[in-house]
Amino acid sequence: MTRLIVTGTDTGIGKTVFAAALTAALDAHYWKPVQSGLEETTDSETVRRIGGVPAKRILPEAYRLKLPASPHLAAEQDGVEIDPERLALPPHDPLVLEGAGGLMVPLTRRLLTIDQFARWGLPVVLCARTRLGTINHSLLSIEVLKARGIPVKGIAFIGEEMADSQSVIAAFSGTKILGRLPILPELTPERLARAFADAFDLRDFQ
């Protein structure tokens, strides 16, 4: 069984691009349980467009919230509260599940994203950008995942080469470096698939 959570050390680091590539490579289903912000392209639509993932393999969101903000606030603006019972895992396998924002983003005033990850009990792929600050953000993220008893499949870097930072994170965390997805000048399913295949070993995700 291959069922993975894709999360990130921060928001806006490219984890949806990585999730699209991973979903396509695994011939998996994609699920974004909570989508905040509907005015622009949703993450599900992005995965379909740049990953070439068929619509039938993209599962509907449990919550579609209008405001591009933390899910707890976006839900309040829409007059709802996110119910963990509606976030029950779908039965599909393989499955790539993408979290909203980073690990400590609130889903409600009482529930953090990482708490929901612990309930699901699936292994996590942590996406980290290759920019200044990535050592701190990555090590903190791995620490809190370990503290919650959440298995970490490994780290997927996104961006330009930062060999020293990557090796430091691996040494201090003991976490496997899965690979690095470069920034692509044009995102198409073909180019994304090629870049993913060049940078990652699919066996590491299975």
Q: Which two tokens stand for residue 136?
A: 């701190």
Q: Which two tokens stand for residue 106?
A: 């609130």
**Which residue in 82, 173, 106, 120 sits closest to 3, CA to CA?**
120
Place of tokens 């680091």: 13
**Which residue in 6, 3, 1, 63 sits closest to 178, CA to CA?**
6
Place of tokens 């919650």: 148
- Catalytic residue status for 56: no
Cβ-proximal residues to 41 (8 Å cutoff; 6+ apart), any chain: 49
Q: Encode 129-187 in three state secondary structure.
A: ECCCCHHHHHHHHHHHHHHCCCCEEEEEEECCCCHHHHHHHHHHHCCCEEEEECCCCCC
Instruction: Give yes or no for a contact between 24 and 55, defined as CB atoms under 8 angstroms apart.
Output: no
Q: Which of 32, 56, 66, 153 is catalytic?
A: 32
At 206 the three-state DSSP class reads coil
In whole angstroms, what is the distance from residue 80 CA to residue 183 CA?
A: 37
Q: Which two tokens stand for residue 122?
A: 């699936």
Q: Enumerate the active-site residues.
A: 32
